[in-house]
Amino acid sequence: MKPGFLFCVALVLGWVVVDNNCPAAIVSPVGPPGGEAVIREAFQGLSQSISRYLGGYQIEDLTIAAPFRDYSVGLTNLAFGQLLAAVRVGNWRYPLMHGTNAVGAAELRADPTDGTTLKFAGLDTSVFPGETLEAMRRAEQWPQIKGKDYELRRLDCPAVQFVGVWLHGRSDDILIPLPPTGGRWNAYQAYSESEMIKLLQSEAEGKLKLH
């Protein structure tokens, strides 16, 4: 298993179990210490007000799953054909699970004053947490995943309205667009970085000219 990887992610009925002995899989990076405690503290006293955003559940009803990291890339980089080498590191994202279903995701960021203290950054109640799980379910069955470790990441290119799962491997990367795609690329399909650049670059160039 690659340095920096902590958990092997085995998809069981749609989510994960921790198994440090499985030989290769989609894996979760080592999250910052104390992340779950920060989330639970942030939700204290807010259970009633936020439960309507979490399928009616309160934080006590949910499991805080292993986190993964957000990454983003800017319009100018895309227009010049730069993708994974130009990403900016973003928040930590913790899926909030009820059974095998993702009902949301809590986001944490490092306090800019010291770079280490974790702060609650927001609650994602969109469809993206569930769609991330669907992408993982499908990817686990792909032959190119077998025998390798891939770190789970989330890639966001807001300027061209692209959000996808980024599976980062030692020697290759797999990009899986999440819906909606507007027909510009195929949701839940495996793309290489070069294939994704071809699809994103022309759109980025057009938007950059408008700006």
pLDDT of residue 210: 83
How many whole angstroms from its chain centre is CA 196?
17
DSSP SS3 for 98: strand
Q: Quote the CA–CA distance of 208 and 75 in Å, as a whole number.
A: 7
CA separation, residue 66 to residues 29, 88, 106, 149, 174 (Å): 8, 21, 11, 16, 20
pLDDT of residue 45: 66
32-210: CATH class: alpha beta
Domain boundaries, the chain: 32-210
- Tell me which H or E stretch contains 75: helix 75-79
pLDDT of residue 106: 95
- How many alpha carbons fall within 13 Å on the CB side of residue 104? 19
Say which amino acid occupies 130. Answer: G
Q: 42-83, pLDDT tens digit by residue?
A: 888 666 677 888 888 888 889 999 999 999 999 999 999 999
Q: Is 110 exposed, middle or buried (0-12, 13-18, 19+ CB in 10 A)?
A: middle
24-45: average pLDDT = 88
Q: Is the pLDDT of residue 93 over 80?
A: yes
Q: 103-139, pLDDT tens digit by residue?
A: 999 999 988 888 788 999 999 988 889 999 999 999 9
133-159: average pLDDT = 93
- pLDDT interval class at 209 (50, 70, 90): confident
Question: Residue 193 in contact with residue 184, Cβ under 8 Å?
Answer: no
| Single pTM value for the model | 0.86
pLDDT of residue 9: 41
What string of DSSP letters covers 60-73? GGSEEPPPEEEEE-
CB 88: neighbour CB atoms within 10 A?
11
